[in-house]
Structure 1
């Protein structure tokens, strides 16, 4: 089959759920429930922090941005999946597929950067408490979020531009329920060496470096906490870091699981499950992790819900 120019490709086919015949209704209900929980949970976090002036601190400012990023990540994937299942059509347009690639790279990269920034925030709060408000001033907080967004956007634009240079054969079938950069690249008929090189480079930039920064921050944090003779302060310090560490473990743990699965398994069903674990599940669980482990969030959330019920 002769390669066709990329402009001749009008659509791709998302074949992820076709590998589990007869279970489409179950997956529709599952993904719809997870999506609604994700949207509601993260919106509640944003509203709670916005309404309570006591939560207007750098830590919760970054948490709001993380919740917004989680909403965007799920919205990039799930609505199209639900539509395809509902109308029994696995197709996605060429432009729609590239849009998914671009947006997913942007928001996943932004989440990685935000988790690193949040680790730095905890480091300053615990290791340099007297200078915390000076260092983590509003200007720096906004700058760090905008810088994270800029880095993620540039990375996504670079990868999407490289995909635009590829040629594809007709009838392209993506073995997943969304357009993932590596799988789209593997479908190309033209040379993909540059694309793969940049994929590995971006993996290092957005996983190894941030994770190293997080580990370094928490190494210093633990060292500082252990030097504190007050048991109460130790407990408070560990509790403020527990939620963030749980989210970091979930985000990078599922990402590592996807990488390891891709290395040892060619099963399409396995690929679908692992993809769901890193693209949908963490975004759904993050609000619960923070709300259940943070007394401030629980108290403010309780007041918000009571206010909504009593004064609609």
Structure 2
């Protein structure tokens, strides 16, 4: 079988070791040290350094309840703000992680903080001073490296949405020492385990891994390969809330899910509840859980409570 040639060669090289897929070696970027100076976030619910539409920092405990007992390789086609993956790494949910997103700037951010390591950011001058005004933030932004510029821009916008503008209220509420510590902690976590970061369309990304599984006749029951899928919300796409990075065809997503199921791998999909989604994924086990959608809270009103669908094949 010939593997998908559209996937860049560096991405192919990242494939070949994770979860003992074929036993070959690849080089993962490692930080110079294994322990950061600041590690006081273990017992806190918030772990992602980013603000992200649909982020699931506060829902990790509900997701954790539905995970398989044994996972060797965690594959995530929609990384987003990374809260689920970071929680999974923090709690040793799997041995290795392959994390993908179509957003090139997002993957660039996570790749940079992984490569540089936590100690780099503990002493970085851009993170030593907390700006008090948007003008101070703009000056800091202009004098920071690319990954910190991405981070500043993200936390000063509502849910990190690219089309949004900076707000003084976001500066006062988000630009805090605890948020800087989350960035440092994320840098450490990305070096705690075998982690590969990939920038690709999710369809091509999943197809490539399934080709690897088929090519090497892998038995997922012996080396459990798990797909966690957290796509953009159905409701938000209907209402044009997301940017172009986050628009997907749900009929195509169903085909990808079916291919994962046929491969013998386990998957867990989380999506906002709707008649359309229940009908689309009716062939699989569906669990409904009450959910607080904090990303809809623009004016600090009571958070919207809704229902999330957990779709799985185990």
Same fold (TM over 0.5): no
Structure showing greater relative contact order (alpha-carbon pairs closer than 8 Å, 6 or more residues apart): 1
Alignment TM-score, normalising by the size of structure 2: 0.22
Higher strand share: 2
**Greater helix percent: which structure?**
1
TM-score of the pair, normalised by structure 1: 0.23
